[in-house]
Structure 1
Amino acid sequence: MKIGLYFGTFNPIHIGHLIIANHMAEYSDLDQIWMVVTPHNPHKQKSSLLDDYHRLHMVHLATEDFPKIKPTDVEFKLPQPNYTVNTLAHLQEKYPEYEFALIMGEDNLNSLHKWKNYEVILQNHNIYVYPRVNSGEMDSQFSNHPKIHRVGAPVIELSSTFIRESIKNKKNIVPMLPNKVWEYIDHNLFYKK
């Protein structure tokens, strides 16, 4: 079974994330997409993150109607900060019968050469890349790499940062979130300040 790993802080998960995950599940050779909720991205300030378990719960709420999309808290139990290469090694050891691939936006692909042990990742895993607005020119070292697969997913110009700012500024962002996620955020008064 081929599993696509879609990493993110999902702070909060929004319809853009779901559109990409569903597109990968339906239009690539991946059998399942695992939404890997990242407790702390080494490149992001931790203070702006909602509690890990609230974000995981929102991913559960958002994906419960999508049988091919599963949330996972695998990184919650790994040493901090999390590095993708370590998470991949852990998953491969725990689930040797699965083949794990990465899902990333074109902007992340352009900075892949800065990732810890990126050569090991490319040697052992396929990477499925979706287009992003303004991701710039593709890094030439990855343009014809046999492990990198471009998937013509819809370009979604929506970010969790925009949603958090909009909630703080009392804007109606209901169409941008799965209903149950919006209800959970609203009920708990998340992102209001």
Structure 2
Amino acid sequence: MKKNLKQLGLMTAIAVLPFSSFSAQKATFDAKVKVKNAFQLVKNNDLDFGTIRAVADNTGTDTASLTIPADTTQTPTVASTNVNNAEIAIISAGSPAQFQISGVVPFATLSITDPVETDVSLAAGSGSGAAGFKLGSFTYYIETGASNSTPVVGKQIQVNENGEAVFNIGATLSTTTGNSANYLDGDYIGTFTLEVSY
């Protein structure tokens, strides 16, 4: 019995002794991250003011304007400070511009910067000396995004869970004053730059 107790005591002592030798392996690894601040902004449609009759006030300061709403459920409107001197009348209605955003962080908010260009002029080869138009008062409307069918507030758009949004741009086209000539038949065009950023 004493022999068994001694053996048990020895085994217990061996069990609690720390192991002085062990096996270890080392391996290296990389830490990676890919930065993608770029996203896609694609034009679906240009801003179209349709077909109009336009008369400019060549000697005074009266102006006429045509507004294309960003919301396609609203109707284009015309106004004039004096319709006897300056007039825009709609022959066929136009439509807002439309853009599509993709490749953005889900539910991120992006900011819109208005175009700074203003001139809409008779296209090259259509004649010369015609009066021009000014473009301004840009408005924006979200078709699809984090919220659908809503006006843009504070020039900010929130994309949906897929990092996508579709929005429209409306604006006001105005006649100019002090022109040496009136409007000629033909296509009037202005090229504008829209900026959308994180």
Q: TM-score, normalised by structure 2?
A: 0.22
Relative to its length, the structure with more strand (as a share) is: 2
